[in-house]
Structure 1
């Protein structure tokens, strides 16, 4: 399957495309010959008419649709991330694959990987996006891809079962349709938001459970439809903030008091824990998020944060109090702590700091986390050890095993 002459494959575009692929291979993003061949064959600029050739072949996101507030609704993901997700799907020639969240480009890549005997369905809830994808796929010689319009929550049963389902929007749950439409041994590659912590997980069935075999720190445009943020969130509008706090896997215990949290002065509490510059703190953020029941996202409070302090997710609430993970430069390193607002901000910040110190003692430098996703009706006694986050459809269990334990061997990056 090759691109047709309708696309202007001039020598500059071809040079840029091969340069991008060479870099993806050098960085270890592309590891198989099938995925390499796909990236070399598909002209990315045919799916990104908004930007010039250099931007088309940059290893970066291309945003393609916005709402009236300027929020991005659709994009072409960065090539490094698409490469990793396709590699994680472990597709073979002749496989069937469902892509949820369309743009056209990745569907064309998938079509190259599974070949003429395979089948690719790309599904999106937005007719503007499906029309755009269909045009690009036709122009590049990939009209065999089925472009479907529908809510991704329901998957696409018509062509199931699939060897892999790749989700390309920020999901907040794992709908039953997705697992029902996977073939035995199939893989679900999904960007899952867990109390505001976004990880692209590769999930493989283990009985009625799903286990993560890989994790990538990443972010996507929000999932739309009945499973999306707008449909399932509980929002609290902070006085003095232009954006609300959004609760997905937890509920505010006093939303009226919480709305006034920023009326109180900020309080800073610092731990004795430091990290070097450019240190990955994703495991700390996940460690905190699964332990803080009042976790949420949003809230435009940057203007209130002192210049020398940086804030990070997770955002944590209790009663009328609001707090963040924070850092400040101390010599060559960065101290970790919390900045909080509310009537009991000092205690609120101190609780988060105690957890930072627990992470430093128990988790830092360890093997990572295990993620097990169980049916929603699973009894507590049948769950594996770990912290449990209940969603509409699932019970997500996350643990941080110690080095040398039986479960450490299946830990993934947190």
Structure 2
């Protein structure tokens, strides 16, 4: 009798467990590792660096963790997405207010499909008292001589003479230890630093723009880049503009050209790389007519002041073009912020039949990547504005790998 009761008890227990949300079996894809053992990699970027360079720094770290997980190493580490706060190029008041999470600009589920990433607020939610003490901050610095003995080699060494007081402006984030590290080379070498102190659970890298991609332009690179899908609200706003003003409802449009016209700092400090306003209009006209003489609509994405933009618009209008640009309303700026407005510009440029960019601009690079993902022919994407006179180096072509 006792044995029979024991069997019944076990059957009931198993039935209850099976119906419980806590029950996990091999077929349940929601099951995962015990998060109590999770460790976290944090990073920060030199404050003057812009939005689009920071997106590339994210990719370096995301690939670093994804590749480690793929081979079963360091698979309890998670990458913490640093909040967006007070970037140098963000001028509007709403963009310089409290830190903005990545989900405001990107599809977080898509990011997580490639790499084990978490938002900072997710870490706070698991932290007692909503305060966070990072075990160790490595402040990365460049070696004084990157090509010592004529060779650029991957290396690092613990050094001195640095400080860090960032933590994205949060007063409830501190650290136990700050260490200075001279570093050069591939980002995967950061695992060597992490391995120095196995008991550390929270490790941070400041000046994270210093480590380089392990490999650039590989399938893994493009898998990561494809996972960086934009927040659906931004996509919808951009596509509504394309439909309403540019008369296109397809992913690859054939009736307008787009231009990224970088001004401000480029016009001041890179005068040998950028054309005058009149020269810009002439080049746009020449390139479009060589590509497709029937296109007479141009979308301009630019950081130029309104006076310069109006001058370019007048030049292009006199050449027979309809000129459009996304002029955000106050509501747009409050909702999407400067980073979101930049993404909307990039989406509109990425759908165009033909694109002309600015040489060595990360904003242009991101548009070129989007166009590769959409499937444009490379000849319609890797084009640039040249100086009015002198040498004009052709842009590099980083084509997609499937």
Q: By the TM > 0.5 criterion, same fold? A: no
Write 1 or 2 for the structure with the bigger share of helix: 2
Write 1 or 2 for the structure with the bigger share of strand: 1
Greater RCO (Cα-Cα under 8 Å, separation 6 or more)? 2
Larger radius of gyration: 2
